[in-house]
């Protein structure tokens, strides 16, 4: 593990026109996935042609440019990052960047039994594993193809690998898994790992349901949790959208990510890069900059890439407007956006 342990005041050169400092990127390493979760993908997916996808070398150059500009935290996501061929090469390179303080990965866990230890050794500090049900049939219904058993083995392997932090992500949807809120929380807390409940976002059309009918507010999820646990708002704040609660009698925490009912844009510190090299300034808007064109230009230099990223900060919109009137919702599905 070669990540810098320098936790002194980081200085990012990336500041948007509302004065928000960007020190966190989510880098999507593939749009492909071995699952087809109902809230994220349609059943029949067409993935990007290879030529449109950034190479591992290009992804590294993007990560490096952001770190050179003061970004201290990179989350690798997708699609499913662990289905990208030779992804470990990229992860090792990023893990060696001096200046990077945290390298994180979000995964569906299906291959984590094999990858947990190599990821830890490559410098990944924290890992998020998505799990929406503890019932094998239901798990399959939600992921359309996933095997619960494999994900549970993956979580055990992640615990054994000794990451600084493991967090489970659960999207709660009416008609699918709304009766599993307490069970999922117990599963996490009993293992001393955190769990975040995420509201389903209207990104692209879900083909199996109408999102307005399935979306559960986190206020409702919290009420259900409070029938079993004593929750108190935590002072702890990570550089992300989660709001944490401490749970009496447990060492790990329950978090709420509420993009639909709670607008957290005011202190947004992050941007996303899609695997096509599109720098997306906001999850819920289309403002973007084409980094691939710069990477593939004949006169490419790292300096030009950095200059484009700095210039793009002016495009970051003030906030997102899910379900608010008169706003065009993004047509991007989450696997294209990078979760």
- Positions touching ligand SF4 (CB under 6 A) are 33, 35-37, 40-41, 78-80, 108, 130, 334-335
Shortest Å distance, C-beta 211 to ligand SAM: 8
The structure tokens listed for 16 are: 């948007």
Question: Which element (helix H / strand E) includes 4?
Answer: none
The site partner of 41 among ligand SAM, ligand SF4, none (C-beta below 5 to 8 Å per kind) is ligand SF4
Q: Is 77 in the site for ligand SAM (CB under 6 A)?
A: yes
Q: How far is the CB of 107 from ligand SAM (least distance, A)?
A: 5
User: Near ligand SAM by CB under 6 A, which window of 94-102, 145-153, 199-207, 314-322?
Assistant: 199-207
Query: What residues contact residue 99 under an 8 Å CB cut-off, 6+ apart?
Result: 4, 67, 68, 70, 72
**Residue 192 host element (H or E):** none
CB hemisphere CA count around 294 (13 angstroms)? 20
Among 67, 184, 198, 247, binds ligand SAM (CB under 6 A): 198
Selection from ligand SF4, ligand SAM, none that 201 binds (CB < 5 to 8 A by kind) is ligand SAM
Residue 58 makes contact with ligand SAM by CB under 6 A:
no
- x-or-dash string of contact with ligand SAM, 131-170, rule CB under 6 A: --------------------------------------x-
DSSP string computed for 47-69: PPPGGGSPPHHHHHHHHHHHHHT
x-or-dash pattern for ligand SAM, window 35-54, by CB under 6 A? ----xx--------------
Cβ atoms of residues 155 and 166 within 8 Å: yes
Q: Answer yes or no whether residue 329 interacts with ligand SAM by CB under 6 A.
A: no
CA–CA separation, 169 vs 166, rounded Å? 10
Q: Which residues pair with 233 in a beta bridge?
A: 245
- If one asks whether residue 80 binds ligand SAM (CB under 6 A), the answer comes out as yes
Interface mask (CB under 6 A) for ligand SAM, residues 240-259, using x and -?
--------------------
Query: Are 80 and 108 a contacting pair, CB within 8 Å?
Result: yes
- Which one of residues 203, 225, 231, 295 is an interface residue with ligand SAM (CB under 6 A)? 203
> Distance between CA atoms of 10 and 101, rounded to whole angstroms?
10
Rounded CA separation 267/127 (Å): 23
Structure tokens, 167: 């967090």
Is residue 194 a contact point for ligand SAM (CB under 6 A)? Answer: no
Beta carbons within 8 Å of 196's beta carbon, 6+ residues apart: 128, 167, 168, 169, 170, 242, 254, 255, 256, 257
Give contact residues for ligand SAM (rule: CB under 6 A). Answer: 33, 39-40, 77-78, 80, 106-108, 130, 169, 171, 198, 200-201, 203, 334-335, 339
């Amino acid at each position: 593990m070669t990540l810098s342990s320098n936790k002194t005041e980081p200085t990012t050169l990336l500041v948007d026109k509302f004065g928000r400092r960007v020190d966190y990127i989510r880098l999507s390493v593939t749009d492909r996935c071995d699952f087809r979760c109902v809230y994220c993908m349609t059943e029949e997916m067409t993935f990007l042609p290879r030529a449109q996808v950034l190479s591992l070398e290009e992804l590294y150059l993007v990560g490096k440019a952001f770190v050179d500009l003061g970004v201290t935290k990179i989350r690798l996501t997708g699609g499913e990052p662990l289905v990208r061929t030779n992804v470990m090469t990229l992860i090792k390179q990023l893990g060696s960047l001096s200046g990077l303080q945290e390298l994180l990965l979000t995964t569906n866990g299906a291959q984590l039994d094999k990858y947990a230890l190599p990821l830890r050794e490559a410098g990944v500090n924290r890992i998020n594993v998505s799990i929406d049900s503890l019932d094998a049939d239901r798990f399959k219904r939600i992921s359309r193809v996933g095997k619960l058993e494999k994900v549970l083995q993956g979580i055990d392997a992640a615990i054994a690998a000794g990451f600084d932090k493991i967090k489970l992500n659960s999207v709660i949807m009416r008609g699918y898994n709304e009766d599993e809120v307490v069970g999922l929380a117990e599963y996490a807390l009993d293992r001393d790992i955190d769990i975040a409940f995420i509201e389903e976002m209207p990104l692209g059309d879900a083909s199996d349901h109408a999102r307005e009918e399935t979306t559960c507010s986190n206020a409702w999820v919290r009420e259900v949790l409070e029938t079993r646990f004593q929750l108190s708002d935590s002072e702890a704040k990570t550089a992300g959208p989660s709001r944490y609660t401490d749970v009496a009698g447990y060492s790990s925490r329950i978090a709420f990510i509420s993009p639909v009912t709670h607008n957290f844009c005011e202190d947004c510190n992050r941007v996303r890069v899609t695997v096509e090299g599109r720098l997306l300034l906001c999850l819920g808007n289309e403002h973007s900059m084409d980094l691939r064109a710069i990477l593939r230009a004949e006169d490419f230099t790292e300096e030009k890439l950095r200059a484009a990223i700095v210039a793009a900060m002016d495009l970051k919109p003030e906030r997102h407007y899910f379900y608010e009137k008169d706003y065009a919702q993004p047509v991007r599905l989450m696997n294209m956006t990078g979760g």
